[in-house]
Each structure stands twice: as C-alpha cells, then as structure tokens.
Amino acid sequence: MMPDCSLIIILYVDDILIGYSDKNAMSRLVDALCAKYDFKCLGAVTWFLGMRIDVNVKDGLTKIDQFQFANEILHRFEMSQCKPFKTPLNAGTFLISASR
C-alpha cells in the first residue's frame, strides 16, 4: 500500500484511461491488468471519445477540446465559413476544485 497515491480509472466500452499520482502504482496496475486481460498500453493519451487531450506535465496543465468534432459538425451543416464567436469563458481562466 502506498500512502497519498491516487489512481483514477476511466472505462468506456473497450477503452480505458488511467490517471495516476505515482508512476510505480500505475505500472503495477497495468501489469496486473495485462496478466488478467488482453490489454495493450498505448502510452500517453492524445484523443479520447472525440476529445483532443493535451497534457503538459511540466506546467501542470491539461487542456481538453472538441475542435475536430466541432469542425465536422460545421462541415456537415455547410457552416465551415461562419464567423467564430468566443464562448463566455475567457481564455486562460483557471478552474479550481470547490473543496479548496
């Protein structure tokens, strides 16, 4: 057992994401999953369920967007030349947990 170690497992059909605070704990989990299931580790996530995910470990930032999905919708409805409009949330806004 490792104190102050977090593992977050996200499952969707046959896809799995593992978030971790301790690389050794994550490695043990992956080894256990590989021993029991037909499991392949694909490395760091860049796309999941149509979302682009950019993790910057150095700066402690994770960015998630649906840019590709939005573009596909715009093309489908022949709106790819429409004028963009910013969402109400300002760029660079940092969100914090309600428990802080």
pLDDT, tens only, 57-70: 899 888 999 988 88
pLDDT band at 100 (very low <50, low <70, confident <90, very high): low
pLDDT band at 3 (very low <50, low <70, confident <90, very high): low
Take residue 47 and report the two structure tokens written for it.
């796309």
Query: Against a cut of 0.85, is the pTM above it?
Result: no
Q: Pick from 13, 50, 17, 52: which is nearest to 33 by CA?
A: 17
